[in-house]
Amino acid sequence: MGKHEKYPECEGMEYVFAGDGRLVAMVVRSDFESYGKFPPFLDSEEERAFVQTAYEINLDRERDTKAHVTPEEFPLQITLLNRDPGSVVKPHYHEVFEPPTGKYRHQIMLTLRGRVRIGIYTVDNEHLTSVFLEPGDLILMAEGHQIEFLEPNTKVIEIKQGPIPAAIADEMVVLGS
């Protein structure tokens, strides 16, 4: 795993960087609890006022119960929530702020049961590392990856940017081929 000044080091969060410093993958472990190291920081009165209109929550606990952990420029965003009972997010939707850009689609794998090994690669086929995911762990992959199922009845949810073409060969590039 790598170190980088933009990404806080904390228990339950791991980052994988290519040699040039770009973030290739991030792993969020099921034991993540470092909410206060990530936005939203609620630094302004305007931001605090908006949160009070959009949520029915204890505003003093917001810093300890919500974390936007992905870089804001990533096309897939991960927000971790650990809200108190009775907290409510009022009915809402999200408008497109800026259309996603980039050459590669990002993908998230969430392990529900069993165990998987994820090999993390750059698009140039450089193997950076492998990580093992257990129930409750997830990984966001921005470039190449390999997935190996290690236990019977392993169940994983895969989330990736769409739209996805009808033929997988139209969008999947096999490294080393």
Distance of CA 164 to the CA centre of its chain: 20
The reply to whether 4 falls in a domain is: no
- Domain containing 53: what range? 35-89
Among the candidates 56, 89, 122, a domain finishes at 89
Q: Any idea what the Cα angle at residue 172 is, between residues 151 and 126, rounded to 5°?
A: 75
Q: Are residues 28 and 42 in the same domain?
A: no
- Burial (CB count <10 Å: 0-12, 13-18, 19+), residue 140: buried
Q: Are residues 147 and 104 in the same domain?
A: yes
Q: Are residues 143 and 104 in the same domain?
A: yes
pLDDT band at 100 (very low <50, low <70, confident <90, very high): confident
Q: Are residues 128 and 164 in the same domain?
A: yes
Beta bridge partners of 113: 155
Q: Are residues 136 and 55 in the same domain?
A: no
- pLDDT tens per residue, range 128-173: 999 999 999 999 999 999 999 999 999 999 998 877 777 777 777 8
